[in-house]
Amino acid sequence: MEKVIDEKVQGNTLTLEARTANSRKLYIESYGCAMNFSDSEIVASILADQGYNTTNALEDADLVLVNTCSIRDKAEQTVRKRLEKYNAVKRTKNPKMKVGVLGCMAERLKEKFLEEEKIVDLVVGPDAYKDIPNLLKEVEEGRDAVNVILSKEETYGDISPVRLGGNGITAFVSITRGCDNMCTFCVVPFTRGRERSRDPQSILQEIDDLAEKNYKEITLLGQNVDSYLWYGGGLKKDFKNASDMQKATATDFAQLLDMAAKAHPEMRIRFSTSNPQDMHEEVLHVVAKHKNICNHIHLPVQSGSTRILKEMNRQHTREEYMKLIDRIREIIPGCAISQDMIVGFPTETEEDHQATLGLMEYVKYDFGYMYKYSERPGTNAARKLEDDVPEETKSRRLTEIVDLQQKHSAIRTASFLGKTVSVLIEKESKKNKDEWSGRTEHNNVAVFPKKNYKAGDFVNVKITDCTTATLIGEAVELS
């Protein structure tokens, strides 16, 4: 199915007719983090200007783009499998199709991709998407094309994303790119480059556009949102000192969040991801102050052992993290907190693992994402430490933290029994077509009978039952 989208692209208002006139077909799929999904919307916007509309059918596509993830080896293997699939479709059904690789794997493997995967015509890193029109010309002339140059400035702030496959209700708005933190296990600083913040005016403009199109919830997105700092663009180190930066009317994350919440009190606002070492208390006060900022903080810790945190180059101890948790609970009572955890980081002992379980008991996270350590080539951990925790130990530790998290998630969902919560309807429930599915501000999924409500409505739902991860209830009218 072809999508015809009427919206602004690169400052030009593209009319519906202009888009209808687009004759070429783009198939784009994304793997990995929310930032990749958001980037694909930027790429679709750039290509809409080049005569491409999106299609959901590989067989029809003139151009197939896959936005890739390098965070763990498994993520890369998934992409390799997709390339095999494209290869099969190209051979049997669609010989004209060209294939491009975007994102973190493109950046990591560069030209090597062309040698390793014959199907690939185009390799584009995360900061080079504006060059895709030029690169496509090369491809059309029969040459392979690669641009993996990382930028100190690019934020795509001037591009209005084409919303792909969304529900028309929730959207991501990216506020920073790259990451300067250099956690020793993480490939992101290598694949996405130095951290840059996007001009607050362009962020607010994008939120205005979304509000106008009746979107009800946005998530401000960055690898490390708390280090958002706008002082006119470029890298922080380009300014000689802090007062120079101040002079340039700096905006930090707390201010940005405050501005967004004030500008659209009817819209729900979320943000992700917070890094404990950069989270300022001011942000917590802003969350507490605005009803429309969701009381949920995704606060990855990775490990509960101070020794491992140090090896990971995370700039805080277990105790400092616990203090931050205490402050969150004081300033935002009832705030949902979620985690990312890694088990089996090099040198992790049973004692370190117990410290992780202990920290989880202390926090009782609402939910979390848990992983086995996967060594990434080029990272400091890969260069300096041997991946020495046996696979079976990693698996056992992962099972233990997943089980504990499930227990905590179940306690948390059960705590909503009998309560009435506001749910933003996103879609029909997968399990029952007579029910809506949406999320609470604490990011719990809730399902309830449809009645006369529609997608995009905020509904008060009385919770009568639950599973570990889902709240089940009934819409109620509040008098």
Minimum Å gap between C-beta 190 and ligand SAH is: 11
Minimum Å gap between C-beta 200 and ligand F3S is: 22
Contact 109, 132 (CB under 8 A): no
Tell me the two tokens of residue 330. Answer: 């004081």
Residue 160 or 227 having the CB closest to ligand F3S: 227
Residue 147 or 273 having the CB closest to ligand SAH: 273
Residues 207-236 touching ligand SAH, rule: CB under 6 A, are 223-224
Tell me the two tokens of residue 227. Answer: 């280090």
What are the phi and psi torsion angles at 439 (to 5°)? -125, 150
Residue 22 or 191 having the CB closest to ligand SAH: 191
Residue 156 contact among ligand F3S, ligand SAH, none, beta carbon within 5 to 8 Å by kind: none
Verify binding: residue 223, ligand F3S, rule CB under 6 A.
Answer: yes
Minimum Å gap between C-beta 286 and ligand F3S is: 21
Q: Is 335 one of the annotated binding-site residues? A: no
Tell me the two tokens of residue 441. Answer: 């501000």
The CA R_g of the chain, rounded to the nearest whole Å, is 23
Residue 71 contact among ligand F3S, ligand SAH, none, beta carbon within 5 to 8 Å by kind: ligand SAH
Q: Which of 126, 189, 346, 368 binds ligand F3S (CB under 6 A)?
A: 189
Verify binding: residue 188, ligand F3S, rule CB under 6 A.
Answer: yes
Total residues interacting with ligand F3S, rule: CB under 6 A? 10
- Residue span binding ligand SAH (CB under 6 A) among the ranges 79-87, 185-193, 289-297, 393-401: 185-193
Q: Is 69 one of the annotated binding-site residues? A: yes
Contact 182, 380 (CB under 8 A): yes
Tell me the two tokens of residue 272. Answer: 């992700």
Verify binding: residue 275, ligand F3S, rule CB under 6 A.
Answer: yes
- Residue span binding ligand F3S (CB under 6 A) among the ranges 175-183, 320-328, 406-414, 420-428: 175-183
Verify binding: residue 413, ligand SAH, rule CB under 6 A.
Answer: no
Total residues interacting with ligand SAH, rule: CB under 6 A? 17
Residues 51-90 touching ligand SAH, rule: CB under 6 A, are 71-72
Verify binding: residue 273, ligand SAH, rule CB under 6 A.
Answer: yes
Minimum Å gap between C-beta 440 and ligand F3S is: 27
Closest CA to 293 of 282, 280, 303, 284: 284
- Residue span binding ligand SAH (CB under 6 A) among the ranges 58-66, 183-191, 197-205, 244-252: 183-191
Please state the residue numbers annotated as binding site: 33, 69, 104, 179, 183, 186
Binding site for ligand F3S (CB under 6 A): 179, 181-183, 186, 188-189, 223-224, 275
Binding site for ligand SAH (CB under 6 A): 33, 71-72, 185-186, 188, 223-224, 273, 300, 302, 340, 342, 371, 373-374, 376
